[in-house]
């Protein structure tokens, strides 16, 4: 807003200077100059000049009229007006426009500086954030590696434990199977022995059961003799 106000003031001052300078250029023309010169004849006569002198004077003034103005050097009057206008404009500019422009420039510089500082700070923040990110990434990688290592160790321990348990179980099963086999074998032997014994004793009983009375008497006599011999 201030910049706009300052620019408007400058435009007004330039247009005003152009307006003031315009009458200076409109004061002179060849026609009016010649008329002015011709009207000076009487004045020159009254001054007592001779016709020849008057003619020379008029001729010189007329030549001055037709003489072209200097394209580089302004008209002195115009130059004065321009100087005055410029001075006014300079004063006004220094008074109003320059502080506003200067302040706007300072503000802009300050804003740019603050923007640059903000950008620098943002860059530093970004770099710090990046560093933190890298650090956290490194930590995460380290943590991940640690977790993986722990998981590997745990898996290894579990595998070893299960292997040991499986070996122990297999050993128990083998031992039990061996014990069962031994037990079955012993039982089979015992059954066989018992059966053989039963068969043998059954045969013996059948033989004994068929002994005649005379043999029975002899057995009784032997018994009595045995009892009698123990006296």
The three-point CA angle 11-15-20 to 5° equals 145
How far apart (Å, rounded) are the C-alpha atoms in residues 86 and 78? 12
Least distance to another protein from the beta carbon of 184, Å?
21
> Per rule CB under 8 A, is residue 217 in the interface with another protein?
yes
Tokens of 118: 């903000």
Between 122 and 200, name the residue whose CB sits nearer to another protein: 200
Residue in the structure block whose two tokens are 């315009």: 22
> Per rule CB under 8 A, is residue 133 in the interface with another protein?
no
Tokens of 194: 């018992």
Between 152 and 193, name the residue whose CB sits nearer to another protein: 193
If phi over 0 gives left and psi between -120 and 50 gives alpha, with beta otherwise, what is residue 48? left
Where does this chain touch another protein (CB under 8 A) — which range of 34-42, 57-65, 91-99, 213-221?
213-221
Tokens of 166: 């499986």
> Per rule CB under 8 A, is residue 215 in the interface with another protein?
yes
Between 121 and 218, name the residue whose CB sits nearer to another protein: 218
> Per rule CB under 8 A, is residue 189 in the interface with another protein?
no
Least distance to another protein from the beta carbon of 161, Å?
52
- How many angstroms separate the most distant Cα atoms in the chain? 226
> Per rule CB under 8 A, is residue 210 in the interface with another protein?
no
Alpha helices in the chain (DSSP H): 2-26, 30-38, 40-46, 51-66, 76-92, 98-209, 213-229
Among 29, 102, 145, 216, binds another protein (CB under 8 A): 216
> Per rule CB under 8 A, is residue 228 in the interface with another protein?
yes
> Per rule CB under 8 A, is residue 192 in the interface with another protein?
no
> Per rule CB under 8 A, is residue 187 in the interface with another protein?
no
CA-to-CA separations, 150 to 23, 111, 143, 153, 156, in angstroms, rounded: 100, 55, 10, 5, 10
Least distance to another protein from the beta carbon of 187, Å?
17
Which residues of the chain form contacts with another protein (CB under 8 A)?
193, 196-197, 200-201, 204-205, 208-209, 211, 213, 215-217, 219-224, 226-228, 230-231
């Amino acid at each position: 807003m201030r910049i706009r106000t300052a620019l408007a003031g400058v435009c007004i001052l330039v247009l005003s200077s152009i307006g003031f300078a315009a009458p200076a250029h409109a004061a002179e023309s060849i026609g009016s100059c010649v008329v002015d010169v011709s009207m000076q004849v009487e004045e020159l006569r009254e001054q007592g000049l001779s016709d020849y002198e008057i003619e020379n004077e008029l001729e010189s003034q007329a030549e001055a009229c037709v003489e072209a103005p200097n394209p580089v050097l302004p008209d002195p009057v115009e130059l004065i007006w321009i100087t005055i206008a410029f001075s006014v404009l300079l004063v006004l500019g220094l008074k109003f426009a320059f502080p506003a422009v200067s302040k706007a420039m300072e503000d802009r510089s300050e804003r740019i500086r603050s923007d640059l500082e903000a950008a620098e700070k943002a860059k530093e923040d970004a770099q710090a954030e990046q560093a933190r990110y890298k650090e956290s990434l490194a930590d995460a990688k380290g943590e991940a590696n640690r977790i993986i290592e722990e998981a590997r160790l745990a898996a290894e321990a579990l595998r070893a434990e299960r292997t040991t348990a499986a070996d122990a179980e297999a050993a128990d099963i083998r031992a039990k199977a061996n014990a069962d086999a031994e037990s079955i074998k012993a039982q089979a032997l015992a059954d066989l022995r018992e059966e053989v014994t039963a068969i043998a004793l059954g045969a013996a009983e059948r033989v004994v059961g068929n002994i005649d009375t005379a043999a029975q008497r002899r057995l009784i006599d032997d018994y009595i003799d045995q009892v009698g011999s123990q006296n």
